[in-house]
Amino acid sequence: MTDRSMDAVDPIARSPEIEGSMDAADRDDRSPGIDRPTHRSNRRPADIFDFVERYVDDYWLYGSGKVALRDVVAAMLPSQSDRAVCRRRRFGREEPSDRRWNVLLPAYVPDAVPEPLRELGVEPRYYVISPELKPSVADVRRRVDGDTIAIVTIDYFGFPQPARERVASVAREYDCYLVDDNAHATLSVSDGHLLGTRGDAGVTSLWKTFPVPNGAICYVRNEALRGRFEQSDCSGVRGTLTGADARFVFTRAIRRALDRRPGLSRRFASVEERFYGAGVAPPAARYEAAKRPCSKLTAVVCARTDPIAVRDRRRQTYRAWLDACARSTGVRPLFGDLPEGICPQCAPVEADRPGRVRNRLTAAGIDVHTWPRLPTLVRETPTYATAQYLADHVLALPVDRRVQPEQVASVGASL
């Protein structure tokens, strides 16, 4: 079981960054893992872990969702005896044992996501997506084969993948696993299901929703797969707060203080680059740097955060962006509706002139960026033109505490 005991909580955890802070006396001390009872009462969830436990009986904490994905895929890899049975069942004949397994990923995916597959010697294969962020099921069928061990679908920006069931049908047909990647939104629920739990396995990233330095949750829903799943030393929670935790709180506090003074914010960024380095590290280096357990600070913040307050606040700001887009031309939200239960990671919009919009919002003190950095193969292959276009034209407008609905309304003209 993963230990997330809150013993010896440091005062640093009382940072005002915590959304919906609660008193520790209002909670019991629990540890997520196998064979734990689920508390599905009608009362308001006490914290993030309590919220998750309304929907699943077991889960594992990690420092990074990509490392969690590596451990999940490692459990999917057939043993030598399994491979022989698999060959006979699928092909009716023996084949060489040095086959290369593959996992299918959507082409619209960050460049570091394939790294855990490469570490395992598994080939990442990319399938085409539509402008509506739906997998091309026909392209999935073209790329899946007898060596495919899993197909990954993504719940983009915290919204459920509408074509998931069609992809799941292909996975069942080819006897491979389905991975529900919900890295963007820990708190999103659709049709009574927590996103990230609708496949044989799934992941979600805590740091993409909450003000924490790292953290991810791994779900393994397939019972047979769960029996083979082994956690690496990158799972669990660190026993103490670290210098990295202190640096995270210090840096974030300064950034918040400078959010409404763009000139000073840019000067601080240049100082930060001088100390910590500028630019973006290669995907393999970023993946390696993430190989660590969940931060103690992350666990503390999640155990003292009101999930409903976080979700409500993000939804309110998202609606403000929708209103701003409705009054603008050349900017279109990817999701014009906000279904009940969805906790958006951001407000993704497609911009005809993304550079102009980004510069104007940045000048107004709002941090905006395109998403994502694509894998090199996807960026250079004409087949993936839609993913390339989206990566260049989709802007992620913030909905967290850095921006208020009133601020969105005042800068809406910048769109």
The answer on pLDDT for 160 being more than 60 is: yes
Confidence at residue 8, expressed as pLDDT on a 0 to 100 scale: 31
Q: How confident is the model at residue 98 (pLDDT cuts 50, 70, 90)?
A: low
Q: How confident is the model at residue 227 (pLDDT cuts 50, 70, 90)?
A: very high
The answer on pLDDT for 1 being more than 50 is: no
Confidence at residue 14, expressed as pLDDT on a 0 to 100 scale: 31
The answer on pLDDT for 226 being more than 80 is: yes
Give the pLDDT confidence of 264-316 residue by residue, as tens digits: 555 555 554 555 455 689 999 999 999 999 999 999 999 999 999 999 999 99
* pLDDT > 90 fraction of the chain, expressed in percent and rounded: 72
Contact 201, 220 (CB under 8 A): yes
The model's pTM: 0.85
Confidence at residue 41, expressed as pLDDT on a 0 to 100 scale: 59
Distance (Å, whole) CA 51 – CA 117: 30
Confidence at residue 206, expressed as pLDDT on a 0 to 100 scale: 98
Domains and CATH numbers, the chain: 307-414 (3.90.1150.10)
Q: How confident is the model at residue 84 (pLDDT cuts 50, 70, 90)?
A: very low
* pLDDT > 70 fraction of the chain, expressed in percent and rounded: 80
Confidence at residue 326, expressed as pLDDT on a 0 to 100 scale: 93
Mean per-residue pLDDT of the chain: 85
Give the pLDDT confidence of 146-156 residue by residue, as tens digits: 999 999 999 99
Confidence at residue 261, expressed as pLDDT on a 0 to 100 scale: 60
Q: How confident is the model at residue 388 (pLDDT cuts 50, 70, 90)?
A: very high
Residue 402 exposed, middle or buried by CB count within 10 Å (0-12, 13-18, 19+): middle
The answer on pLDDT for 389 being more than 50 is: yes
Give the pLDDT confidence of 25-35 residue by residue, as tens digits: 333 333 443 33
Distance (Å, whole) CA 127 – CA 378: 10
Confidence at residue 81, expressed as pLDDT on a 0 to 100 scale: 47
Give the pLDDT confidence of 172-204 residue by residue, as tens digits: 999 999 999 999 999 999 999 999 999 999 999
Q: Which residue has the higher pLDDT, 378 or 87?
A: 378
Q: Which residue has the higher pLDDT, 256 or 133?
A: 133
